[in-house]
Structure 1
Amino acid sequence: MSLDATVIKEQIRRFGADFVGIADAAGFLNPGYTGNRPQDFMPGIRSVIVIGVVIPKGCVQPLPKGRPEYTNTLMAGTATLRVIAFRIARDLEKQGYQSALVPTEGSEFGMWYADMETLRADISLKYAAWLAGLGAYGLNQLLITRETGPRIRMTAILTDAPLDADHPTEETLVRSECSACQRCVKACPVGALFADGTIRPQACRDYMFSTLGGLRCGMCIRVCPL
């Protein structure tokens, strides 16, 4: 049975998503990609449907004040995405295609979702979003969109459904504007970010889950001018 990617995207937006893109799963076989590959646990995967919502400015601008409100808003975004993705995944399976949900972007530091040593999730959701033409990486290691910068939340559906894929709209994986900015690097309270684009994810995790007691930091998002 053939599927119309445009119809699926429209349905996802009607369910409450702000943006959606489809990545060709074969992009994860690119030799330049060094993360975990979805093919390792879903050999027949063909498409990755990336779904996102925009985080309201009102919870970001007061940071570092209001971290409970900021964290709760992020969790609301997570809940919204899970419901949308679950409904689409069930619809795909009713049509005969296998589907599974990727943990929401940002939750890879939740120990139940990631490798204990590397803190890598089963796939890079940000890389999938880049493949789907939704944006590019910033020095803060977050996806930067043209419309709302890093002020987003994402999830994805892995499926063996054959869908017409979108393509990267950014020529490079990392935004060119970031090298001359580096505000996120300077704003990081634990020095987890570096000007060369690398990150110490353990430092980021320890700050949020130990120092902040599970609240999210958000400073790299707060200072981003994009």
Structure 2
Amino acid sequence: MREIALTKKVEDTAFKMNADFIGIADAACFEDPEYTGNKPQDAMAEVQSVIILGVGVPRGAFETLPAGRAEYTNTLMAATATLRIVAFQIAKLIEKEGYKATIVPTEGSEFGYWYADRETLKANLSIKYAAYHAGLGNFGINHLLITKDFGPRIRMTAILTDAPLEKEEKGTLPPFINEKCSKCTKCIEVCPAGAISLDGKIDRQKCAQYMFNVLGGLRCGLCIKVCPQ
């Protein structure tokens, strides 16, 4: 089938260009009434697939924190730049096959001062939500995606396309919230902004204000550093 062949081309290209993981979610998952964020359908009405591309971030970038925040931030930016190049080539590949493709802004730029709503600090759409529905991981209490191979130490981007690619089966998805988080409060305890609460809520304003006002735009990363997964 054409969709199987194109899916394999997309996956092979991603891995050849040094992506560490790739997943494909059905864009219809964003129509679930429990999802309250922005939807890919708002940007591309005929979207069928959301391709998630990711790389693992070197552990050394986290181990130097908090002293090495400049190095950590630079490492994250390098990961984002890598993903943009991979995504662009895949978008071009898809269009050569007769479909449309466009690249989603890297999620939030840590609550989205570049891309997201200034009031809610939500990104254009949740790449993490798409990644969950693509079977790549589930959510931690710190609202980060917890993956099997890299834990939360990842960077992701996504592509919207009207191409009918192979999707993850719904019945194979893990629980929405990672089970290990129920017995761990390390991210809550370490957060210097006090932005993470036991009930699973996160104060985006506190997090953003700490990074952009206290740290001057550098990224924090402490909740990722202490995560045992």
- The two structures have a TM-score, normalised by structure 1, of 0.96
Correspondences of 1:177-196 after superposition (within 5 Å): 177-196=180-199
TM-fit CA distance, 1:174? 1.0
Specify the code of the residue in structure 1 equivalent to 2:159. I
Name the structure with the higher helix share: 2
Contact 2:24 2:167 in 1 (8 A): yes
1:61 aligned onto 2:69: no
Alignment match, 1:114: 116
* CA distance in 1: counterparts of 2:217 and 2:176, whole angstroms: 30
CA–CA distance in 1 between the matches of 2:68 and 2:29? 39
Q: Which moved more, 1:104-113 or 1:200-209?
A: 104-113
What secondary structure does 1:60 align onto? Answer: helix
Amino acid of the structure 1 residue aligned with 2:176: L
Q: Which runs of 4+ in 1 moved over 3 A?
A: 167-171
Alignment correspondent of 2:2: 2
Cα deviation per residue 1:89-121 (whole Å; 9 max; x = unaligned)? Answer: 111112221111112235152322000101111
> 1:135 is matched with which residue: 134, 137, 141?
137
**Structure-2 separation of matches of 1:110 and 1:121:** 6
Is structure 2 residue 201 aligned with structure 1 residue 198? Answer: yes
Unaligned stretches of 5+ in structure 2? none
Which residue of 174, 177, 191 corresponds with 1:174?
A: 177
1:164 match: 166
Share of identical aligned residues, percent?
Answer: 57
Structure 2 equivalent of residue 87 of structure 1? 89
- Letter aligned with residue 2 of structure 2: S
Per mean C-alpha deviation after superposition, the further-off stretch among 30-39 and 135-144 is 30-39
* TM-score, normalised relative to structure 2: 0.95
**Structure-1 residue corresponding to 2:126:** 124
Change in CA separation of 1:108 and 1:39 when aligned onto 2, cut-off 3 Å: farther
Q: Which runs of 5+ in 1 are unaligned?
A: none
Which of these residues, 206, 219, 223, is aligned with residue 220 of structure 1?
A: 223
Distance (whole Å) between structure 2 residues aligned to residue 34 and residue 167 of structure 1: 22
Aligned-pair distance for 1:170?
Answer: 4.2
User: CA separation in 1, counterparts of 2:130 and 2:176?
Assistant: 11
CA distance in 2, matches of 1:163, 1:218: 34
C-alpha contact 1:179 1:195 (8 A) present in aligned 2 = no
Query: Aligned to 1:51, what secondary structure does the other structure show?
Result: strand
1:105 and 1:185 map into 2 onto residues whose CA distance is 22
Aligned to 2:156, the other structure's residue is in SS state strand
For 1:65 and 1:221, the matched residues in 2 are separated by 15
